[in-house]
Amino acid sequence: MSETASAYLGHATRTPVIACHECDLLQRESTVPPEGVLRCCRCRATLYRRHANSLDRTLAYALAACVLWIVSNAFPIVGLSVNGDLVETTMFGAVRVLYQDGMWPLSALIFITTMLMPACQALGLVWLLLPLRLGRTPYHADAVFRLLRVAQEWGMTEVLILGLLVALVKLSHIAAVVTGPALWSFGALMLLLAAAASAFDTRDLWSRLQGVPEAGPAFDSDTPFPAGTAAGCGLCVCHDCGLLTRAAPAQTRDERDAANVHAAVHLPAHAAHCPRCGAHLHLRKPDSLARTWACLIAAIILYIPANVLPVMDTSSLFGAQKDTIMSGVVYLWTSGSWPLAVLVFIASIAVPMLKILAIGFLAISANFRSTWQPDQRARIYRLVELVGRWSMLDIYVIAVLTALVQFNALATVRAGPAAIAFGAVVVLTMFAAMSFDPRLIWDARKTE
């Protein structure tokens, strides 16, 4: 069931207000039924989801995820059987092999996205919810909550599972593949983390924590807002916990202009902190377009070597072979695995290119303060955020192949220089999307 927040409807009571984190529209909060969704009445962004028994369900999922994380990293994921010899690897083993081969940036990226961040996500939820279940207040709840938000953005277990499936297909043409227990536990871990993230109700969490603000400022329901946006009313919305608070008074002309809904807002970076979760507050992300362009230009430069240079070097009794990302797609297609070939082509070639084009389009339109179809541009922004992580698929395939195909004189697979460039493209485009402030899409348009 879906509800839309009310922006200007009059009521007889004093009601709390909320601001959309994507378009900054100030609107009165509506009652949300269980399992309902509150959406912005202008850009249709999801403002709030209400879940029944949210914290208990999330705690159960998180505890199970902690157990499965240990199993997933303690046991082998997959193995190769050659002439009676079995070569197996764990996720940490793949990270170690890449590090020993000198590919430490790639090794660090895989360690962070497949091991560290999923662990932080599961442990962070347990840290916050278990004390509440026992009637106590979690220690440093604000810092752990902010860490949890970062872990949810950079944990990529679901992409790893697809990468493992592609690697299994490639390995099956080399030797007999033996699946390990960690392959199945990683699949279950993916489902549990997704279920925990879906069931987690941040408003329920903050309402149970003592000594923190539960809601933002309230306005008389029969009085119109001074301005249509939170920035126009001198209010900041926290992008971590969603709390709406008063902004610090502007002291310079540029800062006074920032309060105008039709101006590009640039308060000093990290001028204030959220009184609830401690996150940095700003009316608009500081230097949003400059940082977006910096990351995007770097990604465009690295996109060329990522697709031209070899991403994987294979040595065997029959000679040496250097494979690019495209040649890997061709190999999957000619071997009969055309669904996986299409998947790798979309994730590793089409998605990075489309992300670069989409972010560039959003940045150019924001630079020129375009008023063209802001709702469509907002949808493009959400799509870019959604698909950004899936480009990591090829990186995980390379990690598994590099760790397993180490038969010395018979066959050896090593990551090529394009692997580092491609990993950098994925990270840079994600940073570019994170740096872009979607509220800039709406700032050039008058509030309707």
For residue 52, what pLDDT is reported? 82
For residue 140, what pLDDT is reported? 92
Residues 389 and 311 in one domain: yes
Q: Indicate if the pLDDT at residue 256 is higher than 60.
A: no
For residue 216, what pLDDT is reported? 58
Angle of helix 325-334 relative to helix 288-308, nearest 10 degrees, comes to 60
Report residue 444 as tokens.
């050039």
Q: Indicate if the pLDDT at residue 11 is higher than 90.
A: no
- Confidence bin at 153 (pLDDT 50/70/90): very high
Residues 311 and 252 in one domain: no
Q: Indicate if the pLDDT at residue 263 is higher than 50.
A: no
For residue 261, what pLDDT is reported? 37
Sheet containing 14-19, strands listed edge to edge, beginning at the edge strand earlier in sequence: 26-28, 14-19, 218-220
- Confidence bin at 222 (pLDDT 50/70/90): low
Q: Average pLDDT, whole number, for the chain?
A: 84
Residues 20 and 74 in one domain: no
Q: How far apart are the first and last CA of the chain?
A: 25
Residue 281 resides in a domain: no
Choice between 251 and 347, residue whose per-residue pLDDT is larger: 347
Digit-coded pLDDT (tens) for 105-143: 999 999 999 999 999 999 999 999 999 999 899 999 999
For residue 172, what pLDDT is reported? 82
Mean pLDDT of 334-360: 89
Residues 299 and 430 in one domain: yes
For residue 55, what pLDDT is reported? 92
For residue 12, what pLDDT is reported? 43
- Confidence bin at 66 (pLDDT 50/70/90): very high
Reduced 3-state DSSP string for 65-131: HHHHHHHHHHCCCEEEEECCEEEEECHHHHHHHHHHCCCHHHHHHHHHHHHHHHHHHHHHHHHHHHH
Domain C-terminal end among 208, 239, 254: 208
Say what the pTM is. 0.87
Kindly tell me the sign of the dihedral angle through the C-alpha atoms of 301, 305, 308, 312.
Answer: negative
Q: What whole-number distance in Å separates Cα of residue 257 and Cα of residue 255? A: 5
Q: Indicate if the pLDDT at residue 266 is higher than 90.
A: no
Residue 249 resides in a domain: yes
Q: Indicate if the pLDDT at residue 65 is higher than 70.
A: yes
Domain C-terminal end among 156, 191, 208: 208
- Confidence bin at 8 (pLDDT 50/70/90): very low
Residue 283 resides in a domain: no
Q: Indicate if the pLDDT at residue 185 is higher than 60.
A: yes
In a 10 Å sphere around its CB, with 0-12 CB exposed, 13-18 middle and 19+ buried, how is residue 134 labelled? exposed
Residues 326 and 424 in one domain: yes
Domain C-terminal end among 156, 174, 208: 208
Give the residues across from 415 on adjacent strands: 312
Q: What whole-number distance in Å separates Cα of residue 199 and Cα of residue 125? A: 11
Nearest C-alpha neighbor of 393 from the set 431, 439, 346: 346
Q: What whole-number distance in Å separates Cα of residue 417 and Cα of residue 95? A: 16
Residues 66 and 105 in one domain: yes
Digit-coded pLDDT (tens) for 285-328: 999 999 999 999 999 999 999 999 999 887 765 556 788 889 88
Residues 67 and 143 in one domain: yes
Q: What whole-number distance in Å separates Cα of residue 19 and Cα of residue 81? A: 58
Domain count for the chain: 3
Q: Indicate if the pLDDT at residue 271 is higher than 70.
A: no
Q: Indicate if the pLDDT at residue 359 is higher than 90.
A: yes
- Confidence bin at 364 (pLDDT 50/70/90): very high
Q: In terms of residue numbers, what domain contains 323?
A: 288-443
Q: What whole-number distance in Å separates Cα of residue 203 and Cα of residue 139? A: 18
